[in-house]
Amino acid sequence: MNKIYLDNNSTTQLDPRILKKMIPFFSEKFGNSSSRTHSFGWEADAAIEQSRKEIAALINAEKSEIIFTSGATESNNIIILNHNSKDNHIITMSTEHKAVLDICKEVEKNNTHITYLNPKKDGLIKIDKITDNIHPKTTLVSIMHANNEIGVIQPIYEIGKICKSNNISFHVDGAQSLGKTNIDVKKMNIDFLSLSAHKIYGPKGIGCLYINKKHFHKLKPRFYGGSQERSLRPGTLPVPLIVGFGEACKILNKEQEKESNEILKKRKLLIQKIKTEIPDVIVNGDKVNRIPGNVNFSFPSLKGQSIINSMPSIAISGGSACTSSSPKPSHVLKNIGLNKQLINSAIRICIGRFNTYEHIEIAAETIIKTVKQKSSY
């Protein structure tokens, strides 16, 4: 039986166009970008700077504001740990990815104060909560743009305005939103933005941190051993991975709008088919303000993991891939107010670039059949 991959919030298939662009940098173009005395190094450095330019163009930044990291998790660490100081205050959300929440738990040990804001039932933050929790010691607001489990898109533009008017730094985890909804770091008043290539059909192991140029002097490296990336992230740069990241952004610069519209049509088809046959299914999260390919269903009275286990040919998940080995219920669904039964009955489906309408038809039919077999329909 052919397998269908519908877990694109977890990771994405490497686009063949991107792989083709990367391959030469694993072989004949193998130079170290820090080698300044010969053409091998110059060629590698030029490729890196072109990739930096492509990434910056996608988010309306300057290429000098892009620092390469291993991914959004490392980028999040750099920013939050740089705001780890006794009596500092950070505002974030209780539904953030563990890549933010776990760092926040760590800095609390150093008497950095963290406020975890709960969203509304639709998963979106109430803007007034940001304003109400700002006080003189607040140095950072860290809010993810799109939630990895329920796909809701937070009002980043409005939050950015609040931060700017209060002279507070604004960090956004954009791992799930890049390439799926527009990001403009200038219009959104974003000071720091964390990104990963593998969420946009690029390679794993590479990401970046956008840093507004006015903030560079405030940041210190988290480890030492070289002057790469303005000494903020030392170490030999993985040229093939960076080339892949740049190519992924170049493709999105041309294709994002068309691709997003097509994926949205497929999501609507999936929801329509399942709701027609399973009328009491619940779609978790705001129905409009969400990334195009994400849908999170709860099937009352059933267990989501049981549904997933019964469909080995359909690759979906019960939530975040980073916590899929944990027996704990989803903290995202818990913090939007779902009861234990609805949390345990949830499945996450994430449609991507390489999913066809046939994939959606087969997935819908398989889910409907499985749910009916396990319930009284």
Report, as residue numbers or ranges, the catalytic residues: 322
DSSP letter for each residue of 245-271: HHHHHHHHHHHHHHHHHHHHHHHHHHH
Tokens of 45: 């450095």
> 239-277 vs 39-59: helix axis angle to the nearest 10?
30
β-strands 346-350, 294-298: how paired?
A: antiparallel
CA-nearest of 152, 151, 195 to 171 is 195
Tokens of 318: 């019960």
Helix (H) or strand (E) holding 358: helix 357-374
CA dist 275 to 114, 282, 348, Å? 40, 9, 15
Which residues in 6-159 belong to E strands, given as ranges?
66-69, 89-93, 113-117, 138-144
Burial class (CB in 10 A: 0-12, 13-18, 19+), 321: middle
Residue holding tokens 């691709």?
259
Number of residues that this document lists for the chain:
377
CA dist 247 to 47, 205, 285, Å? 10, 15, 32
Burial 4-29 (b: 16+ CB within 10 A, else e): bbbbbbbbbebbeebbebbeebeeeb
**Alpha helices (H) along 126-209:** 127-132, 156-165
* Farthest-apart Cα atoms in the chain, separation: 73
Are 156 and 36 in contact, with CB atoms under 8 Å apart?
A: no
